[in-house]
Amino acid sequence: MKKIIGIILGVAAVLGALEIMWLWGFCRFYVGPNQMAIITAKNGEALEPGQILARKGQKGIWEEPLGEGRHFLNPIFYDRQVRPVTIIPPGRVGIVTSKVGQELPEGEFIAERGQKGIWQSVLGPGKYRMNPYGYNIEVVDAISIPIGYAGVITSLSGAQAPSGQFAGDHQKGVRKDVLQPGLYYVNPKEYKVDVLEIGINQVSLLGQSGSKVVTKARQLGKNEALNLLQANVLEQQEAKRVDYYNQKSQSRASSWGNNSGQQMDVSSNNRGQSLFPQQSVQFNQGELTLQELVSFPSRDGFNISLDMTVEFEFNPADIAGIYRRYGDLPAVIDKIIMPQITSISRNKGSEYRAKDFIVGEGREKFQNDLTSSLEQTLGSKNIKVYNALIRHVEVPDDIRAPIQQASIAVEQDLTNKERQITAAKEAELNTQLALIQQFGEKVQQETEKIKAEIRADLEKQVAQIHAQTLKKVAEIQKQTAAINANKVRVLGQARATALEKVEGEQAKGLQLKTAAFGDPMAYARWRFADTLNPQMKINIIHAGEGTLWTDLEKTGFAELGGAKQLKGQRQ
């Protein structure tokens, strides 16, 4: 029995070791950092119709990938694929296209989570573990609106907004709200963002040589990543504008050739209309070069071409409406600004003679009329015009030469007159300079005289002040001596008075003391006794009968009681 149990235990141990070897040697696998494992089950229930990813217990690709770490799966029943996860860096977004979920309604392509299609919400910067068999992630740049620009939003999904109105929620079209400068994580599949300048822009028409549009210069910040994003946004917008002009150029050139049967000749255009030749246009640091011109007949029948610069601005509150009605900046220039410039220039210019555009006063009046008309016309379309400057006017040579010669003659005559006036002024100036020099010398002499008088007067005043000072010092010394003498007298009187009072009071005190004793001799004896040393001892040696006591009585000491005391002691 024990032998059987031992065999069973041995077999169990072998089987356990084999199982451990199987698990750790064949079933174990590792998913590293920033990786995920896609698992395919070889057995299980069949997928439902239209189902792509399998749930646990179904045969097929599991919907949820396995994350980082150690995992154990039987390779007989499961296949695995280790793939990198999706990492979205800062400044970029992930657009998710779901292959699984509920079907969208017909005509819709923007989906919510759980629906099949392009998700409306985007993935921000971060790390995402999503099954590539069920979800496709496209990483694109976020929208960075530069300073001096506004982002006009066009919704690409939903029902079409009514004509002439802004798009609302779940509607397709241009939205009223715009994006201010900043970074936005916008789904480009749902919204199209066009950046338009909100500062002052220029349209410069260069006569027969063409024209150019100068847009707002880029303002770079300190964040290089944001600068790169903004540069990408502006380059994309510029590419759209170039495409727009190229398409317009080809369209108009084709229309011109079909209608007239000849090539378009810009130099021979006398219609006063903006033309787009068959050539591409390019932006160069915010400058778009075109082939636009302003040409019109004058009142006396001469063809006039102008060099002109028009400064205009879009108000941020109106920029969405401008974009909805006309489109981007090139479209606004093509549809509104250029037609108004050429139309107003033609209408106003036909009221002036060719000579008026050469003479300064006439050209200035035409410029003021043009500016005022553009301000009124474009202002009604929410486009603010600041200036319309005329820089150069091209007039035919057959009229420009005589006018210029006449103007030169007039200017020469004016120059000669000015020279005569200048010569007279120079002579007058020389005279005045001589008078000034003479007056200066006179003033210098008078100044020296005044200085001498002032110096003498100062010396006189100093001497007077010195004499007065000496006089004052003598008077003060005299007063001081009198005061000192009076001081000595007063002090002497005070000392005498004090001595008199002190000595007098002392004498009065002695008188009072003497009066108190009744006899001057008694007071003297008291003073004598009072001044004796208390420690003094008197020793009297008896020398015989009669002699000492008789003498003591004569001295008066016996009256004080001393002799009587001694006599009593003796008896």
* 421-445 pLDDT, tens digit each: 888 888 888 888 888 888 888 888 8
Helix (H) or strand (E) holding 261: none
Q: What is the pTM of this model?
A: 0.57
Please compute the mean of the pLDDT values over residues 55-71 and round it to a whole number: 88
Alpha-carbon distance of 296 to 393, in angstroms, equals 11
Residue 269 to residue 399: CA distance in whole angstroms = 20
- Under DSSP, the state recorded for 300 is T
Mean pLDDT (whole number) for 370-384:
90
**Mean pLDDT within 214-218:** 58
Helix (H), strand (E) at residue 21: helix 2-22
Q: Cα 295–301–302 angle (5° rounding)? A: 50
Q: Decide: residue 111, CB within 10 A, 0-12 exposed, 13-18 middle, 19+ buried.
A: buried
- Name the band, by pLDDT with cuts 50, 70 and 90, for residue 171: confident
Catalogue all structural domains in the chain, each as residue range(s) with its CATH number. 199-395 (3.30.479.30), 522-570 (no CATH)
Q: Cα(352)–Cα(357) distance, rounded to whole angstroms?
A: 8
Helix (H, G, I), strand (E, B) or coil at 110: strand
> How long a stretch of residues is the chain?
571
State the chain's mean pLDDT as an integer.
79
Q: What is the pLDDT of residue 219?
A: 62
pLDDT digits (tens, 9 = 90+) for 489-545: 888 888 888 888 888 887 888 778 778 877 778 777 777 777 777 777 666 655 555
Q: What 3-state DSSP class applies to 456?
A: helix
11-15, 263-267, 440-444: range with lowest mean pLDDT: 263-267
CA–CA dist 176, 189 (Å, integer): 19
Confidence class of residue 217 from pLDDT cuts 50, 70 and 90?
low
Query: How does residue 290 score in pLDDT terms, banded at 50, 70 and 90?
Result: low
Residue type, 374: L
Q: Are 292 and 210 in contact (CB under 8 A)?
A: yes
Most confidently modeled of 6-10, 172-176, 246-250, 329-333? 172-176
Give the pLDDT of residue 88: 93
Q: Which amino acid is at 26?
A: F
What residues form DSSP beta bridges with 171? 159
Q: 162 by DSSP, 3-state: which?
A: coil
Q: pLDDT confidence of 233, banded at 50, 70, 90?
A: confident
